[in-house]
Structure 1
């Protein structure tokens, strides 16, 4: 380490975990190092999704704001640090696309200015959601019983690990292990 800076490869999970932990404590130098290390990759993720540089830059900025504010919530047992940051960026890119697929407001002088806008998801939103749900269900079906059950209860029903361990009558360490391994298999399946 030189002058408070860490030289890391952008894909070194151990160093990224350390930087996130330091960001959670409010260390601005670690945040700068994290930004320099992964901003190129996160920008590429945003640009691939959005295909517009101005939107990708906006999403990148918002991603790092979220990373800074949520670094303390990062859980090494659930995903690799780069996966966690990519998911934040992807989700913000999806939000950006949804915002820009909304119909623009008509001019005040337009005869349609007072017509109510349909707030329901459009066909594109429904198609994307259906595809994402189908992929997730397909990947969930590949998990072993305890892994699948643990993930579904913990994430879709919002139950804490300790409550889940009591509900499943299993040691907390086993439940955490099932979830960690299941999440790794899900990530591999969804990325493949």
Structure 2
């Protein structure tokens, strides 16, 4: 029997709050890539949400999270390796793609800057410190004299705003910032 939607949603929210940082740090410790860690977290919780919606909960969600995390991380790493292998086979295309990506990046950055400018001042500052200055949440919290949880909330809301406007181009933005 599948759980009612509100029970699954409540369970998911609890699991996300309890486990998202653990999944992130697991992936980060294995790859040393914030991009891969963030991608892994997103995919893990999408799969978990799907499991909560469509499957009987015979296996505890925490066990599912561990299994899903390993599987998703391996999938993401395989995708990155395939992309790297393709770029190595066609170096002139890779260079052309990088040139195009630089142009797209500049246009995208201008649009993201417009979105950031529309955010509340504190959210703007937190987002810029995190994504442009590469400060971690603890450093930002100390610098701005706010809680780490407040920093997390500002980042989550800022990313949500950007995702809504740029869902089809967000990968480019994240890829560029995690490669530089």
Q: TM-score range by the shorter chain?
A: 0.3 to 0.5
Larger Rg: 1
TM-score by length of 1: 0.41
